[in-house]
Amino acid sequence: MDSSKIRTLDYLWSARPLLKYYYADEETTKIINHNIKWISNKVEHPLFQFAYLMLPTLCNQRCRGCFTGQDKNRLPPHLSGPFYSTDELHEILSFLRDHGVQAVVYGGGGELFTWEGAFGFLELIVEHGLSPVVFTNGTLLSARDISRLNSLGTVLIISLRDTVEQYHNSEVQINGFRRTIATIERCMQEGMHYSNRLAVEVPVTKENEDRIINDFLPIMRALHIVPMIEEYIQILSSHEEKSRCHTFAEARTFFQRVRKADYNLGLDYSLKFGQRMVGQPQCRRPLYSFAVYPNGDIMDCPSHSTWYGNFKKISIHDVIYSALFRKALFDFKLCACSVFYTETDAEVPSYLPEHLEILR
């Protein structure tokens, strides 16, 4: 496609659509730069874009390779615990609001809407002046539920595993494909996609990559839904599950193919070292967010690689303002929960965490 057509199509995409609150953008860079100054004692307080609040919810699916371990039927036991008390939620949400946070992200353990307290939880987030971002498989949501979520300004990230019903159902181990698709359609009827509050997440494998490029990507772009195409998080995946995922070389080819497909749709962008998601740069979330777990642990992200402290033993303020947290930010170099884009084999780091070595 020539450059004149690229310019003609620019107005359709407003660059490329970025998922509200969750995706990294220019404001994210400002937050990161601010926190670098905070580490050096040049500003008084850190700032954050969002925080993950993890819950001990059950899941009605058993998605293969689930990064919270739900296909193994549990959250990692050392991170699980009871639901937060009202006082604990008030402490967490007030701290977030006072440190620039716009949104609270529910990232697991299981499916939020298996819990009878789900909507009360989301309403409490909104009452504290924050916006909810929810990862969900969508199978338990009625049209009325989606209207209610829309009224709360919720951002929904709906999980899909394949574009073919048979393959998707096999991956999630229930017959949920049609219910998930129905939820996507209802979200569009509510207009959530027009304000960049609707994404569909799909982890890429060797088996589904052609369908993601040829079917999923153009459909999502045409519908103005954010396509959250990502490499598998490998923290809790087995060797068999890893064998279905990309190596670093295969990831390189995949990202290049996606970029070409997007270019043909009128979107031009550069690929960046370290990116594991289409349309997003190298992940630097620990520099602008953190994750809170039911046992009270505060970690770098849902991939739970770095421990900062426990807010049930000391306050969340004291955890975040601790020397341990400052040092973790100062030492941060690379998120490596999955394979990521590298331009050449030489760019693959010489040291990788154990869960990625097999994919070198």
Structural tokens at position 22: 């969750």
What is this structure's pTM?
A: 0.93
Q: How many domains does the chain have?
A: 1
Residue 32 belongs to what H/E stretch?
helix 26-39
Confidence of residue 11 (pLDDT cuts 50, 70, 90): very low
Q: Environment class of residue 152 by beta-carbon count within 10 Å: exposed (0-12), middle (13-18) or buried (19+)?
A: middle
Question: Any idea which residue has 């079917």 for tokens?
Answer: 215
Q: Tell me the residue range of the domain where 253 lies.
A: 3-357
Position 221 scores a pLDDT of 96
Q: What is the pLDDT of residues 226-248, one digit of tens each?
A: 999 999 988 878 888 889 999 99
Q: What is the pLDDT of residues 118-155, one digit of tens each?
A: 999 999 999 999 999 999 999 999 999 999 999 999 99
Q: What is the CATH number of the domain that holds 114?
A: 3.20.20.70
Question: Any idea which residue has 């995706």 for tokens?
Answer: 23
Q: What is the pLDDT of residues 21-30, one digit of tens each?
A: 999 999 999 9
Question: Any idea which residue has 């049209």 for tokens?
Answer: 143
Distance CA 45, CA 20 (A): 24
